[in-house]
Structure 1
Amino acid sequence: MIDWLPPWVRHYRRQWLAGDVSAGLLVTLLLVPQGLAYALVAGLPPQVGLYASLLPLPLYALLGRSHAQSVGPMAVTSLLVAATLGKLGLATPADYLLAAVWLALLSGAMLLLFGLFRLGFLADVLSEPVLAGFTAASALLIVLSQLAPLAGLHSGGASLPAILATLWHQAAHYSPHALLLGVPALLLLWWARSGLPRSLQALGLGASPLLLLARGMPMLVVLGSMLAVGVLGWHGQLPQVGRIPAGLPALAWPALPAGGLSALVLPAFFIALINYVQSLSVAQLLAIPRRETVDPDRELLALGACNIGAGLCGGLPVTGGLTRSVVNAEAGANTQLASLITAGLIALLLWLGSGSLAALPLTALAATIIAAVAPQVRLAPLWHAWRAERSDAVAFAVTFVLVLWLGVDSGIVAGVVISLAAWLMKSSRPHLAELGLLPGSSHFRNVQRHPCQTLPGVLILRIDESLYFGNARHVRDALLARLAAAGQVHTLLLVMSAVNRVDITGLAMLQRLDDTLGLRGVRLQLAEVKGPVWDVFGRAGLAERFAGRVHLSTYAAWQGLQPVPDFHI
């Protein structure tokens, strides 16, 4: 067998074929309306959403490792594209499309570089509360932005004030035909998420027919709306998709935008970051039931190649979609053959049946977007964070408000800043615990939480954070304050079990602290210094300074610091 083939090809089993075929068919029924709709969210021609799925699906099948990850356009990414390009003042639709293609190419190139340099940790730049707030606010913006096309109006704006202003100014020009078609479609899609599965189960249908009907409802709505327009003679009475070029897109390296690439680099980075976090999260979710692991760097390489492939096809940036991937897995996908089948069916549609999509009403696409995105407007993480950690709740709320008010492009920048600021704030004020010995044991605990023994004249403090430039001054001040409050102390023992690293600023702080305590007649001693931290001490020339004052364990230090008993004859 050829070594370069992905593992699922080398070890494919015949019994997997039925599940892969059914999953490929079902995801196609979901991806076609989603692809068309998400392209419109980005302000692009609808076929661009289908173009963006052609190469990425087989590229991920070749390079990715998730068995059911389905790569294609995503709602939040489309909104990011619209927000970015809407601020550039592009002269023509062709310039707008060209800039969107370059966003895919640039973000793909960045993801490839991140993967080559093994920068998978970039997924941690956004904290969970910030990411949840960003996702909820972005989903709400998408839902609100689609109210205009649902009513037959032109959508506009990438922030809450702009969207509301657009709706207000066009309110008198709504299309009754669009509402008569779009609102029932939305209600049907909403019912398909909750009521339909229960109804089908009551009828005794098995899991596979139930899944096929429930998940294929967006395509049924699309087909039904096209049929309704034809039967009722509503052509020209409401906005429609219009002509979609027949055939497959030509692979080509695009020309440079008229304004250059400088204005696209930073937005492309944030699009790459959001897409990577989304794709990695989906891959990890799908790996849990199969007890598999996900290589973040491998996902970076695969997703980078997918975005470059999307750009070469004239598409917009792509990522692993949660809904599509979960549907793919639930429909029985065992390998990435399901994605190859989906790509083949989309190519067949573009080649033979693209003309039939011209009569598709935009109000039906708006209904599919609202139904798909509305469940992501979740405020439950805010209440959970408020109960667990108030600072995380503040991070969620601030990100949510900023994304709504400023738009997703400015909101994601604010989200990264908030994540880093929250981490810096927490680590710059580390917890200091005064320790004592639990009676009858060799274990040490916080004296404020447990009844503990202490030694007279000895203050034992544990630093619950690494020592670095961001907290060195505060730790020094806090240690001196604790020492002053303790009264008569001749020894300060710092337990460094939670100190995982130390930088030059942290070392300088310890050196100055040692000098200050020496002038006061207080001896500074250390316990439980980890090997990598002690290596830094040695390279900085401080190992000799603290020689004889570093203890292997806190209990060993306790034994060495106990007063010598007096014997009387």
Structure 2
Amino acid sequence: MSDWLPPWLRHYRRQWLAGDIGAGVLVTLLLVPQGLAYALVAGLPPQVGLYASLLPLALYALLGRSHAQSVGPMAVTSLLVAATLAKLGLATPADHLLAAVWLALLSGAMLLLFGLLRLGFLADVLSEPVLAGFTAASALLIVLSQLAPLAGYHGAGASLPAILASLWQQADRFSPQALLIGVPALLLLCWGRGALGRQLHRLGLRGMALALPARGMPMLVVLGSMLAVGVLGWQGQLPQVGRIPAGLPALAWPALPAGGLSPLVLPAFFIALINYVQSLSVAQLLAIPRRETVEPDRELLALGACNLGAALCGGLPVTGGLTRSVVNAEAGANSQLASLITAVLIAALLAWGSGALAALPLTALAATIIAAVAPQVRLAPLWQAWRAERSDAAAFAVTFLLVLWLGVDSGIVAGVVISLAAWLMKSSRPHLAELGLLPGGSHFRNVQRHRCQTLPGVLILRIDESLYFGNARHVRDALLARLAAAGPVHTLLLVLSAVNRVDITGLAMLQRLDDTLAERGVSLQLAEVKGPVWDVFGRAGLAARFAGRVHLSTYAAWQRLAPAPDFHI
């Protein structure tokens, strides 16, 4: 029976309880305003964000493996949902909500399917520069989109031109009361994220005494703004959350959306991809201090179940949130019991305290979003990539600009295309190194970097990439060019130590190259062919062709190709 329980519950220790309770309470204080705010970013009723924070927390606690991963709505996901809904042309708020629920349902089903098929490598579809550019641009769009709610009016647009045009056209609609609440709230939140923690640390506070004031600042801002509206009598002078239905959401399978499922399939796939990459990155970050390992396929299954749970509760797509998860870990979470406590507290709020949230001004939620998302507008990866690899910097910059100009939904498509194109570009022009023997040993190195010995009439070249259809023609042309530039050569030795795989196009290229060189009186020989690659040679019928011309190591080839010593008596 106990085998069905999650590992953390089977091996739970009593000394973990205090940390889990404290972390659960603290994450609740952070998740409630975030859940409300991110639902508004998606253009949905605020309670949808709380609904999406219930069952997913419990399901991840049962199925996930990260000890402190906190699953719920995320800013970028909410922006993707908003961009998708804006393009569907739906007539009513109910249609918008139904489409968002189906985005959660479809993305969850896709994640479950990917997990069952063990497709955890999908996290690698987006390269690090592309993901960083996408995240930075999305965060900037979110910050700009919240300037209108911060000033007390409704903004519009899902791209930089549309958002700026909306801000310009409606600039005269700002509410002084909203600004008088929102701007101080934003400054207070920024102070709470940075200077407050350092000041409390200098005062000697540690643990929960340090974490609670700093991490609980969003909830203090929510309560303070509600109090200010009531005391000043501004209830009807600025936008507020309004009535939130009392009670827990009923579990229900959603009806089909008005426009059918076909317009939602592709957006759901990209939402699933972004959510999976985000969740896996957070899980890996949390695993490093504990020297734990993360199973990508297991994370796919857990995250898929979480999104199905969010859909059944009437919520939007969810993923592991970086800020919440880090707060959870720093607050002392030792297991997923902390997330279960958070889920119970949110359920209690919905059941008995949702009416109090009606007076919450939207400007305070906008301040919460801006303070949470603004640190993600990071350009440091661009400068780092520019110094290390210019093509990665170009990938970051292009993704960043496309997301800003076209919107986050089109930007993620462009990001995937750029990632694949960058990989194809790099692998299609592999590095070729001419090798020589280091004096006094059996090691070979690039002759352009080291002082090496070479054999007369023998050209030794190492191919630093697998051979496949994308680079076979270029490799052949580059090899022939090197051969022509090398002068009189009777043997070309290809070192395949860096070739991890070869496809039929690569084999055909080697076969044609062998024929071409034979016509010129040059022998093509191979060294350090890996077992899986040689198996492909055998299955394709090329093993016999190269019999006697394949060497176990480059040094063995050197000894065989070196001219015999000339002894004179």
Indicate the TM-score class for this superposition, using the shorter chain for normalisation. Answer: over 0.9
Q: CA deviation at 1:202?
A: 3.5
Aligned partners of 1:290 and 1:283: how far apart in 2? Answer: 11
CA displacement at 1:36 relative to structure 2: 0.0
Could you say which residue in structure 2 is the equivalent of 1:407?
407
- Give the secondary structure class of the aligned counterpart of 2:158: coil
Given that 2:115 and 2:298 are in contact with CA atoms closer than 8 Å, whether structure 1 keeps it comes out as yes
Q: Secondary structure of the equivalent of 1:53?
A: coil
Where 1:353 maps in the other structure, the secondary structure is: helix
1:217-238, CA deviations, whole angstroms, 9 ceiling, x for partnerless residues?
0000000000000000001110
1:484 Cα deviation from its structure 2 partner:
0.3
Q: Which amino acid aligns with 2:510?
A: L
Distance 2:201 2:336 in 1: 29
Contact persistence 2:207–2:331 (CA under 8 A): no
Shift of 1:197: 1.3
Q: What is the aligned partner in structure 2 of residue 372 from structure 1?
A: 372
3-state DSSP of counterpart to 2:22: helix
Q: What does 1:11-90 correspond to in 2, within 5 Å? A: 11-90=11-90
Within 2, Cα distance between the matches of 1:237 and 1:568? 108
Map of 2:508 onto structure 1: 508
Q: What per-residue deviation string (whole Å, max 9, x for no partner) do you get for residues 278-297 of structure 1?
A: 00000000001111000000
Distance 1:201 1:94 in 2: 48
Following TM superposition, by how much is the alpha carbon of 1:565 offset from its aligned partner in structure 2, in angstroms? 2.9
2:528 alignment counterpart = 528
How far apart, in 1, do the equivalents of 2:338 and 2:562 lie? Answer: 70
Q: Hey, what does 2:497 align to over in structure 1?
A: 497
Distance 1:160 1:428 in 2: 35
Shift of 1:162: 0.5
Cα offset for 1:206? Answer: 2.8
What's 1:236 paired with? 236
The DSSP-based 3-state class of the residue aligned with 1:508 is helix
- What amino acid sits opposite 1:368 in the alignment? T
CA shift digits 1:488-508 (9 cap, x unpaired)? 000000000000000000000
Return the offset for 1:485.
0.3
Q: Deviations over 1:498-557 (max 9, x none)?
A: 000000000000000000000000000000000000000000000000000000000000
Superposed displacement of residue 568, structure 1: 3.5
Which secondary structure state, in structure 2, belongs to the residue aligned with residue 209 of structure 1? helix
The answer as to 2:407 corresponding to 1:398 is no
Task: Map 1:453-472 onto structure 2 (within 5 A).
Answer: 453-472=453-472
Name the counterpart of 2:166. Answer: 166
d(CA) in 1 for partners of 2:62, 2:481: 60
Deviating more after overlay: 199-208 vs 159-168: 199-208
Partner residue of 2:255? 255
Per the alignment, residue 101 of structure 1 pairs with: 101
- Offset from partner CA, 1:327-373 (integer Å, 9 cap, x none): 00001000100000000000000000000000000000000000000
For 1:205 and 1:260, how far apart are their aligned partners in 2?
A: 55
| In 2: Cα distance, 1:197 partner to 1:5 partner | 38
* Distance apart, 1:49 and its partner CA: 0.1
- Match for residue 547 of structure 2? 547
How many residue pairs are counted as aligned between the two chains? 569
- Distance, in Å, in 2 between the alignment partners of 1:346 and 1:565 is 84
1: distance between equivalents of 2:480 and 2:357? Answer: 74
Displacement of 1:462 in angstroms is 0.1
**What is the CA–CA distance in structure 2 between the aligned matches of 1:248 and 1:565, rounded to whole Å?**
89
| One-letter code aligned to 1:305 | A
Give the percent of matched residue pairs that are identical in Structure 1 and Structure 2: 90
Determine the structure 2 residue equivalent to 1:2. 2
Write the letter of the residue equivalent to 2:120.
G
Q: What SS does the aligned partner of 2:450 have?
A: coil
- Superposed CA deviations along residues 415-469 of structure 1, whole A, max 9, x for unmatched, are 0000000000000000000000000010000000000000000000000000000
Amino acid at match of 1:531: G
Q: Give the AA of the match of 2:114.
A: F
Query: What stretches of structure 1 of length at least 5 have no aligned partner?
Result: none
Q: Distance in 1 between matches of 2:201 and 2:499?
A: 56
Which amino acid letter does the alignment assign opposite residue 191 of structure 1?
Answer: W
The whole-number CA distance in structure 2 between the counterparts of 1:330 and 1:317 is 25
The DSSP-based 3-state class of the residue aligned with 1:533 is: helix
User: Structure 2: which 5+ residue stretches go unaligned?
Assistant: none
Superposition map of 1:244-393 within 5 A: 244-393=244-393
Code of the residue aligned with 1:164 in structure 2: it is L
> Greater CA deviation, 200-209 or 404-413?
200-209
Question: 1:144 matched to which residue of 2?
Answer: 144
Using the alignment, how far apart are the partners of 2:424 and 2:206 within structure 1?
Answer: 53
Deviation of 1:3 after TM superposition, in Å, equals 1.1
Measure, in 1, the Cα distance between the counterparts of 2:207 and 2:531.
55
Aligned to 2:53, the other structure's residue is in SS state helix
User: Matched residues in 1 for 2:28 and 2:352: separation?
Assistant: 15
| C-alpha separation in 2, matches of 1:106 and 1:511 | 47
Matches of 1:368 and 1:173, distance apart in 2? 21
Q: Secondary structure at the match of 1:492?
A: strand
CA–CA separation in structure 2 for the residues paired with 1:206 and 1:103? 42
- CA drift at 1:203: 3.2
Structure 1 window deviating more from structure 2 (236-245 vs 1-10): it is: 1-10
Amino acid at match of 2:501: R
Counterpart amino acid of residue 514 in structure 1? D
* Aligned partner letter, 1:263: P
Residues of 2 paired with 1:401 and 1:414: CA distance?
10
Per-residue deviation, 1:108: 0.1
User: In the alignment, is residue 196 of structure 1 matched against residue 196 of structure 2?
Assistant: yes
What residue in structure 2 maps to residue 428 of structure 1? 428
Counting only pairs closer than 5 Å after superposition, residues 205-220 of structure 1 correspond to structure 2 as 205-220=205-220
The Cα shift of 1:567 comes to 3.5
Q: Aligned ranges for residues 431-446 of structure 1 at < 5 Å?
A: 431-446=431-446
CA contact (8 A) 2:278 2:321 kept: yes
Q: Secondary structure at the match of 2:526?
A: strand
Q: What secondary structure does 2:485 align onto?
A: helix
Is 1:484 matched up with 2:523?
no
TM-score (norm 1): 0.99
Give the counterpart letter for 1:111 in structure 2: L
Q: 1:205 Cα deviation (Å)?
A: 2.5
Task: Report Cα offsets for 1:292-311 as digits up to 9, x if no partner.
Answer: 00000000000000000000
Moved more, 557-566 or 338-347: 557-566
Range with bigger deviation, 414-423 or 202-211? 202-211
Instruction: Tell me the CA shift for residue 566 of structure 1.
Output: 3.0
CA distance in 2, matches of 1:210, 1:2: 37
- The amino acid that maps onto 2:390 is R
CA distance in 1, matches of 2:221, 2:514: 74
1:92 aligns with 2:92: yes
Amino acid in the other structure paired with 1:345: L
Instruction: Tell me the CA shift for residue 208 of structure 1.
Output: 1.9
| Aligned residue identity for 2:367 | A
Q: Deviations over 1:229-261 (max 9, x none)?
A: 000000111000000000011100011011110
CA–CA separation in structure 2 for the residues paired with 1:272 and 1:301: 12
Match of 1:251, SS? coil
Write out per-residue CA displacement over residues 7-57 of structure 1, whole angstroms, 9 at most, x where no aligned residue.
111111111100000000000000000000000000000000000011000
Deviations 1:117-141 (A, max 9, x none): 0000000000000000000000000
